[in-house]
């Protein structure tokens, strides 16, 4: 198995990933490896970002609107960072040039296309000698001595696995019940804390009124306002971050959040101590065991298991009743058991097996979170117990289990004194 060494690994050539790489590279001399992501972020389909620009608008008004849209289930610190940094990010994009920006005649919606932004940022990054983009994806992160020290990747050109020695990783991408990006599962298996996964939407209404059928979770990985997670050496940014949107959202905030928190993660990476990754003696055996490559061919079984997962999620879409959720979870758990029983597979199918496992984990975590929340709030509607909870709470999850985390203050009653 080939070994690649870098100082910082960025999973996902996403809007957040490019913004982080650009911010980091032009502040610090370090090697940056970016791996592609085959799952488009939802913001890719939404050609707008929200910025308070017009007379009469303000950061405070924007903050209040975002909190209200999230049914006050979002994190006030993250929302504050989103609103305060939005104008700075827009100014930075304008300074880069070659990015068509249509400023609002009313409201706070700025027309902005992902392809233009990513092209400009990618050209700037590619011109830097310390930057490298690989056509493939990250699959799992290696932890040793309590911190990130490497990763397992898939090379789309050679169609084979490779190992990455890196002491710091930034995961980005989309979070959804069945089609989350690889960054989500990388974070989960590394021990990240997750929350708000029950808050999902099945469609997004664009500014022109057209409907985009896209399953998207508004929750994900718990971070601070600078992208740090509870896993030493791992940061997260973009749509797989939790806490920005809460239980509802304005689609224009997706792109704004990706840019703002990608930039903040890049600034964090430029300041923190970048520790070395694992050496080959430790990394390669772990990578080979995780890839689990063999000689068996079970393509039909993998396709069948993928179909089971999608059917399980389709059966509960919009219902959120305990019986339906329990049945779907039983289906997903059975599929997970069947996947675990498969022998080591040929390389391409070993890769597909890991991606199938990603889909199963995302499905089961979303179902578990939906089962735990008994009250209706924001975009989450219980069919069999729709009464409001007596006090607000958030459902936190991780490899070490799931807890109901009651908030110390009822932020629905706070009226946001900091606004």
Q: Residue 169 maps to which CATH number?
A: 3.50.50.60
Instruction: Please check the confidence at residue 413 and state whether its pLDDT lies above 60.
Output: no
Confirm whether 403 is domain-assigned: no
pLDDT at 408: 43
Q: What are phi and psi of 185, to 5 degrees?
A: -70, -35
pLDDT value for 291: 96
The mean predicted confidence, pLDDT, of the chain is 88
In a domain, 410, yes or no: no
> Would residue 214 count as lying in a domain?
yes
Q: How far is CA 84 from the centre of its chain?
A: 22
User: For 242-275, how does the pLDDT look when each residue is reduced to its tens digit (9 = 90+)?
Assistant: 999 999 988 889 999 999 999 999 999 999 999 9
Kindly state whether residues 215 and 321 are assigned to the same domain.
no
Give the range with max mean pLDDT: 109-113, 212-216, 333-337, 347-351: 347-351
Same domain membership, residue 188 and residue 259 = yes
Model pLDDT, residue 25: 97
Mean pLDDT is highest, among 5-14, 87-96, 360-369, 373-382, for: 5-14
pLDDT for residue 51: 93
- 56 sits in the region (left: phi over 0; alpha: psi -120 to 50; else beta) called left
Residue 40 pLDDT level (bands cut at 50, 70, 90)? low
pLDDT (average), residues 301-310: 90
Determine, yes or no, domain membership for 23.
yes
Percent of the chain with pLDDT over 70: 91
Same domain, 262 and 297: no
Higher pLDDT, 189 or 118: 189
Q: Are residues 189 and 259 in the same domain?
A: yes
Q: Has residue 374 got a pLDDT over 60? A: yes
Identify the pLDDT of residue 414. Answer: 39
Is the pLDDT at 72 greater than 80? The verdict is yes
Looking at the structure, tell me whether residues 255 and 320 fall in a common domain: no
**Do 171 and 230 lie in a common domain?**
yes
Rounded distance between C-alpha atoms, residue 50 and residue 61, angstroms: 12
- How many domains are contained in the chain? 2
pLDDT band at 113 (very low <50, low <70, confident <90, very high): confident
pLDDT band at 31 (very low <50, low <70, confident <90, very high): very high
Calpha distance 250→360 (Å, rounded): 28
Any domain includes 418 = no
Report residue 246 CA to chain centroid gap.
14
Q: Are residues 87 and 57 in the same domain?
A: yes
Neighbouring residues of 278: CB distance < 8 A, sequence distance ≥ 6:
142, 144, 149, 150, 165, 286
Q: Does the pLDDT at position 213 exceed 60? A: yes
Give the CATH number, domain containing residue 345.
Answer: 1.20.58.100
For residue 97, what pLDDT is reported?
A: 79
Q: How many CB atoms lie within 10 A of CB 263?
A: 22
The answer to whether the CB of 205 falls within 8 A of the CB of 251 is yes
The tokens for 313 are 């999620």
Q: What's the whole-number mean pLDDT along residues 317-323?
A: 81
Q: Is residue 284 part of a domain?
A: no
Quick one: average pLDDT of 15-35? 96
Task: Provide CB contacts within 8 A for 388, sequence distance 6+.
Answer: 375, 376, 377
Are residues 261 and 367 located together in one domain of the fold? no
DSSP bridge pairs for 377: 380
In this prediction, residue 283 carries a pLDDT of 97
Q: Is the model's pLDDT at 410 over the cut of 70?
A: no
Residues 152 and 6 in one domain: yes
In which domain, by residue range, is 304 found?
Answer: 292-388
Q: What was the pLDDT predicted at 44?
A: 67
Flag whether pLDDT at 210 surpasses 80.
no
Same domain, 102 and 207: yes
Residue 120 belongs to some domain of the structure: yes
Task: Judge whether 285 lies within some domain.
Answer: no
Domain shared by 114 and 209, yes or no: yes
Residue 76's contacts (CB-CB under 8 Å, 6 or more residues apart) are: 67, 411, 416, 418
Percent of the chain with pLDDT over 90: 62
pLDDT of 412 > 60? The answer is no
Question: Which of 11, 332, 361 has the alpha carbon at shortest distance from 182?
Answer: 11
Sign of the Cα pseudo-torsion (346, 350, 356, 361, in order): positive
Considering the domain architecture, whether residues 21 and 124 belong to the same structural domain is answered as: yes
């Amino acid at each position: 198995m080939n070994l690649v060494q870098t100082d910082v690994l960025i999973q996902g050539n996403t809007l957040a990933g490019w913004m982080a790489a650009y911010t980091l590279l032009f502040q610090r001399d370090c090697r940056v490896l970016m791996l592609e992501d085959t799952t488009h972020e939802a913001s890719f389909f939404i050609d707008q970002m929200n910025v308070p620009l017009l007379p009469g608008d303000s950061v405070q008004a924007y903050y209040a609107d975002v909190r209200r849209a999230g049914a006050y289930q979002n994190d006030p610190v993250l929302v504050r960072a989103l609103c305060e940094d939005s104008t700075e990010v827009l100014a930075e994009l304008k300074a880069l040039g070659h990015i068509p920006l249509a400023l609002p005649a009313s409201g706070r919606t700025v027309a902005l296309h992902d392809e233009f932004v990513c092209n400009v940022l990618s050209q700037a990054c590619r011109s830097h000698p310390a930057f490298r983009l690989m056509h493939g994806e990250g699959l799992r992160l290696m932890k040793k001595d309590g911190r990130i020290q490497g990763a397992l990747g898939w090379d789309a050109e050679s169609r084979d696995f490779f190992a990455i020695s890196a002491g710091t990783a930034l995961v980005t991408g989309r979070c959804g019940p069945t089609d989350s990006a690889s960054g989500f599962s990388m974070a989960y298996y590394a021990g990240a804390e997750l929350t708000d996964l029950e808050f999902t939407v099945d469609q997004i209404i664009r500014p022109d009124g057209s409907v985009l059928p896209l399953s998207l979770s508004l929750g994900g990985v718990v971070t601070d306002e600078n992208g740090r997670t509870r896993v030493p050496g791992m940061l997260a940014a973009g749509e797989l971050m939790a806490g920005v949107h809460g239980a509802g959202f304005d689609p224009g905030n997706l792109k704004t959040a990706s840019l703002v928190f990608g930039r903040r993660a890049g600034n964090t990476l430029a300041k923190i101590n970048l520790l070395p990754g694992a050496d080959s003696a430790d990394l390669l055996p772990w990578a080979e065991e995780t890839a689990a490559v063999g000689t068996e061919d079970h393509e039909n079984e993998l396709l069948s298991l993928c179909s089971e997962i999608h059917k399980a999620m389709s059966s509960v879409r919009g219902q959120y009743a305990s019986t339906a959720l329990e049945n779907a979870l039983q289906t997903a758990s059975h599929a997970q058991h069947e996947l675990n029983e498969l022998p080591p597979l040929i390389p391409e199918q070993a890769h597909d097996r890991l991606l199938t496992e990603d889909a199963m984990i995302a499905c089961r975590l979303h179902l578990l979170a939906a089962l735990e929340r008994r009250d209706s709030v924001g975009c989450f509607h219980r069919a069999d117990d729709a009464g409001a909870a007596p006090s607000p709470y958030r459902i936190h999850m991780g490899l070490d289990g799931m807890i109901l985390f009651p908030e110390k203050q009822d932020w629905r009653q706070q009226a946001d004194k900091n606004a």
